[in-house]
Amino acid sequence: MEKRPLFGAAAVVLLVAAAYAAFFVAPRERTMGDLQRIFYFHASCAWAGLDAFGVCFIANLLYVWKRRGTYDWLGVSAAEVGLAFTTVVLISGPIWAKPAWGIYWTWDARLTSTFVLWLLYVCYLLLRTLVEESDRRALLSALFGIFAFIDVPIVFGAIRWWRTQHPAPVIMGGPGSGLDPVMRKVFFFSVLATHVFMAFLILERYALEKLRGEVEQLREEAEAA
């Protein structure tokens, strides 16, 4: 029996359970009220997105070192999934910001670096469409992916290094930061759910890339025959 659909179903169940916990289990935050419940989804998607780009970075490094097509497949799969998660972050953030700040967007360090990250990985995917020869495409995109990853620590550090309009970190934020114990449990459950979902999407996307490799091989064989 195929294991991927079961894994996908488990990931969706976890996502729904995490949403239930965010709406009905987590206590109401004192200053922001119910609006703060976006945090569980927004921050856990941001975390999963950055980790997907981390997977892409490792795959890119391995491709440059070993030149195996499977690392290229993993790199592009993780980049697309990371981009999907970052898109969700860039949508859910402004939905929170409008009632909280009165504006949807401001060019502060965290928001700008996240938007630049999104653009960098859009460029990574566009670059792949511009090069036809598969080895050259894989190498160029791996090198670009290594460069693009430079922005990931900047996104992480932006709210730690600079004073920004974006709220200060509540996880790994140093002294004075932190969460109510129930909020903390709900948040880490959301992080788990989004990471399981991210892994599922990367596996699905990797299977697609494997098929693409098979098509390329069959076409080469047909041309050679």
Residues that bind other proteins in the complex, under the rule CB under 8 A: 15, 19, 22-23, 33-35, 37-38, 41-42, 45, 80-81, 84, 87-88, 91-92, 95-96, 98-99, 197, 201, 204-205, 207-208, 211-212, 214-215, 218-219, 221-222, 225
> Closest distance between other proteins and the C-beta of residue 176, in Å?
26
- In the complex with other proteins, which residue's Cβ is closer, 28 or 67? 28
> Closest distance between other proteins and the C-beta of residue 155, in Å?
18
Report which secondary-structure segment, H or E, holds 147.
helix 134-148
| Own/partner long-range contacts of 99-107 (Cβ < 8 Å, ≥24 apart) | 99/35, 100/32, 100/35, 101/165, 106/165
- In the complex with other proteins, which residue's Cβ is closer, 104 or 147? 104
> Closest distance between other proteins and the C-beta of residue 159, in Å?
19
φ, ψ (nearest 5 deg) of residue 33: 70, -145
- In the complex with other proteins, which residue's Cβ is closer, 15 or 120? 15
* Rg over CA atoms, the chain: 20
How far apart are the C-alpha atoms of 123 and 92, rounded to whole Å?
A: 22
Which SS3 state, helix, strand or coil, does residue 6 take? helix
> Closest distance between other proteins and the C-beta of residue 99, in Å?
5
The vertex-53 CA angle with 85 and 50, nearest 5°, equals: 60
- In the complex with other proteins, which residue's Cβ is closer, 130 or 224? 224
